[in-house]
Structure 1
């Protein structure tokens, strides 16, 4: 009986930890016949940065590529710059967002509208700003020039540079959890 309680508590804590992760996977797609074991080598496609949005430091792109390489190498692939079997296309978008709250006319002073018509309205009040990052990984079969697997995750970008590196590592690991292997 004691072991059951301990195992149940451990499972609950694990689920609680996973559910509180700051990284959220938003979409996963795979070709029905895609198996990672069909590929031996991988390489990265050229990164094109869009500077019209928030600028992404080069060390963050390098960290992202390093983490993706680690995940693919753990799964038996070898990095190759000359005609790799699998091409990796990375997408990174960082947007500045506003954090708002809704005023409540029951507790806050209401915002009055109108001259003769008396109406009370609540409104959104900005309470902070933050950056939200989205990373996407697309795996492309080089011979067929077709997308075989894609996944996307998003998270708030920490202001501390060392925390950004940790968040990238955590995000890429979560992205690759759903990558089909030989038995799937």
Structure 2
């Protein structure tokens, strides 16, 4: 009976750990101008760029999802998209870095295979076990009249390869950034 409770508790902890590890990113930093209030703006548009995003077609759809999430958050706060004469411009920055996942060796899982020489020694090492992409996302609001940045948010997250999960992560990460706007 007690053993069953221990196993159930361990299973619950592992489910919580996995669900916590899969949350969409974290907010790294936010900065805002002294007099910035989002309610002072009624319209926005995205900066027009000459990026060569065609070189990375797997991310083209994801940039559209980022824009969609930003648009939803701004419109829910009364700031509508207007392409002709917006009061605020939105700049999106995405930096993707490939990272190596490692694990540490130990005597139980990686015992020494040969101990015949006197000067042989064994030490703990970091062994690569896989790679993953980590993305850093910056969101800048620029007052169009003064051409000054009035708010900036920076977030970081592991990028999933599954489209449905990626869309959900983008939406959640964007909402986290918007909760930091005062």
* TM tier relative to shorter chain: 0.7 to 0.9
Instruction: Give the TM-score of the pair, scaled to structure 2.
Output: 0.76
Q: Residue deviations 1:81-116, cap 9 Å, x none?
A: 11211110001122221100122357633599xx99
Q: Give the alignment partner of residue 101 of structure 1, picking from 100, 103, 113.
A: 103
- Separation of aligned partners in 2, 1:44 and 1:167: 21
CA contact (8 A) 1:56 1:94 kept: no
Q: 1:122, CA displacement in angstroms?
A: 2.1
Match of 1:25 in 2: 27
- Separation of aligned partners in 1, 2:73 and 2:172: 11
What is the aligned residue count?
161
After TM superposition, the structure 1 = structure 2 runs for residues 8-157 of structure 1, keeping only pairs within 5 Å, are 20=20, 21-47=23-49, 49=51, 56-105=58-107, 108-109=110-111, 119-157=121-159
Q: Unaligned stretches of 5+ in structure 1?
A: 1-15
Over the aligned positions, Cα root-mean-square deviation in angstroms equals 2.8
Query: What's the secondary structure of 1:57's corresponding residue?
Result: helix
- Separation of aligned partners in 1, 2:113 and 2:85: 63
Q: Unaligned stretches of 5+ in structure 2?
A: 1-15
